Amino acid sequence: MSQELNRRELLLGSAALALGASEAKAQSANSRVNVAVIGIGGQGNFSIKELAKLQPTTNFVALCDVDDERAGKAYEQFPSAKKFYDWREMFDKMGKEIDAVVIATPDHTHFHPAHRAISMGKHVYLEKPMAHSVWEVRELTKLATEKKVATQLGVQRHTLPAIHKAVEIIQSGLIGKVTEVHSWIASSRGMPPVPTDTPAVPSTLKYDLWLGPAPQRPYTAEIVPYKWRFFWDYGTGEAGNWGCHILDIPFWALGLTYPTRVNYHDGDPLHAVTTPTKFHVSFKYEKDITLHWYQGTPAILKEKNLDPKGMNNLFIGEKGMLLCGFDKAQLIGVEGEPTVKVPKSPGFHKEWLDAIQGGKPATCHFGYSGPMTETVLLGNTAYRAQEGFDWDAKTLKASSAKAAALIKPKFPKGWTV
């Protein structure tokens, strides 16, 4: 007989549930939600389009971006929304008029506007990864619970039918107890040449605002507007780019939260400035679960004669295996249909709006997605330390001095929190 689980039971282990249990300070159902968007030229434009479908519930009151050229179309679409370059000025002038904020800036500028918004009691939709460092992620996770705001991390693939199928298979026990998961992004992007050119800053770009709390360096088109993600000062590499999407599957299916051990296996020689093209780390969790993360295709797929095309997760259970990706889920060694059924999402952005209006927490609220993001960043930490470490999630302490030095950033004057 099918077992219908409610949304919280499906996506949370006990520790994550404790972080996300507080209901958001709700607006009345069907009331208009005044939304501000910070970072509207790239992924932020996707959220604008999705939220625009939900008008008149969604009312765009402010749009903020540092690049007029990339942001122009959104300004044209919502001419009544007030335009800003600096999110600090936006909050100072319009704080009382804003109910909720979408933040879709480069990784190094996620934390500060999100922290300010949540501190003001604003609901937040934040692009992945949640922040640039483990400490920043934990601060946002705690603050969101304290302020009882509705949150959602931009892991929109969470709604895909194949991911639901994978979760149903694992939680139904079709492959038995899972002891090992291999997760990967089949990409070799990283380690670009460090730019030496110093062209003039385009007249359409407020470069100082783009840099924000990052170290000062001359402008170059080899970093802005896109390749920043492969430089440690601004991005988190392919792990940060894809890790939350891919690890969402095992985190959801197995109810994972915080690891107790992070191991470094191999990868590119460390570069102080740029992110790697390949590396392999693993995480130890309670219930004797080991989760491997690779940039590159894991050797175990060839060993087991498995086709990696379109796949990004291999679950190994006592009875069989599950090979899955964003679009398909393949049982290996066993047959059967899952008894657990995942409720269909009303829409990823609508989940957030519903939570703002007093509904259930969105499926990727910070109580769930915070531990997941920390795991992604801890993998980067092990690579950058070039060694493994025991991890005390409660105190954010790593047994490796090299790793410990990377957990909390040192903000420059004017950016301390």
CB-based contacts of 13, cutoff 8 Å, min separation 6: 254, 255, 256, 257
Residue-wise pLDDT for 99-111, tens only, equals 999 999 999 999 9
Work out the mean pLDDT of the chain and round it to a whole number.
Answer: 93
pLDDT confidence of residue 42: 85
* Three-state DSSP class for residue 291: strand
Q: Which of 191, 64, 82, 213 is nearest to 136 (CA)?
A: 213
Q: Please give the pLDDT value at position 16.
A: 41
Q: Other CB atoms closer than 10 Å to residue 270's CB: what's the count?
A: 12
Tell me the average pLDDT across 305-324. Answer: 97
Could you tell me the pTM of the whole model?
A: 0.93
Is the CB of residue 218 less than 8 Å from the CB of residue 169?
no
- Apex 17 CA angle, 12 and 19, nearest 5: 130
pLDDT score, position 73: 85
Cα angle 197, 203, 206; round to 5: 85
| Helix, strand, coil share (%) of the chain residues, nearest 5 | 35, 20, 45
Do 313 and 323 contact (CB within 8 A), yes or no? yes
Edge-to-edge order in the sheet of strand 313-317: 329-332, 321-324, 313-317, 178-185, 289-295, 279-285, 261-267, 389-392, 397-398
User: How far is residue 101's CA from residue 125's CA, in Å, rounded to a whole number?
Assistant: 6
Q: What is the mean pLDDT of residues 10-32?
A: 51
C-beta separation of 270 from 157 below 8 A? no
Q: What is the pLDDT of residues 43-98, one digit of tens each?
A: 999 999 999 999 999 999 999 999 999 998 889 999 999 999 999 999 999 999 99
Instruction: Identify the weakest region by mean pLDDT among 15-24, 125-134, 352-361.
Output: 15-24
Assess whether pLDDT exceeds 70 at residue 113.
yes
Q: Which tokens in the block code for residue 65?
A: 């971006």
CB-based burial label for 242 (10 Å; 0-12, 13-18, 19+): buried
* Cβ-contact 106, 228 below 8 angstroms: yes
The alpha carbon of residue 343 and the mean position of all alpha carbons in its chain are separated, in whole angstroms, by: 22
Helix (H) or strand (E) holding 60: strand 58-64
Q: Is 313 strand, coil or helix?
A: strand
Which ranges of 218-320 would DSSP assign to H, the alpha helix? 237-254, 299-303
Q: How far apart are CA 140 and CA 149, in angstroms?
A: 11
The CA distance from 19 to 141, in Å, is: 7
How many angstroms separate the CA atoms of 107 and 242, rounded? 13
Please check the confidence at residue 3 and state whether its pLDDT lies above 60. no
**Model confidence at 6: pLDDT above 50:** no
Q: Would you give the distance in Å from CA 133 to the centre of its chain?
A: 12
* pLDDT tens profile 227-243: 999 999 999 999 999 99
How far apart are the C-alpha atoms of 370 and 39, rounded to whole Å? 21
Whether the Cβ atoms of residue 258 and residue 265 lie closer than 8 Å to each other:
no
> Quick check: 373 and 394 in contact, CB under 8 A?
no
Residue carrying the six token digits 């640039």? 132
Cβ atoms within 10 Å, residue 411: 15
pLDDT band, residue 30 (cuts 50/70/90): low
> CB burial class (10 A; 0-12, 13-18, 19+) of residue 172?
middle
Name the residue among 21, 103, 99, 109 with its Cα closest to residue 58.
99
Q: How confident is the model at residue 28 (pLDDT cuts 50, 70, 90)?
A: low
What pLDDT shows up at residue 31? 86
Which pLDDT does position 19 carry in this prediction?
43
Return d(Cα 69, Cα 247) in angstroms, integer.
34
Q: How many CB atoms lie within 10 A of CB 231?
A: 24
- List of residues 6+ apart from 253 with CB closer than 8 A: 166, 167, 170, 171, 178, 315
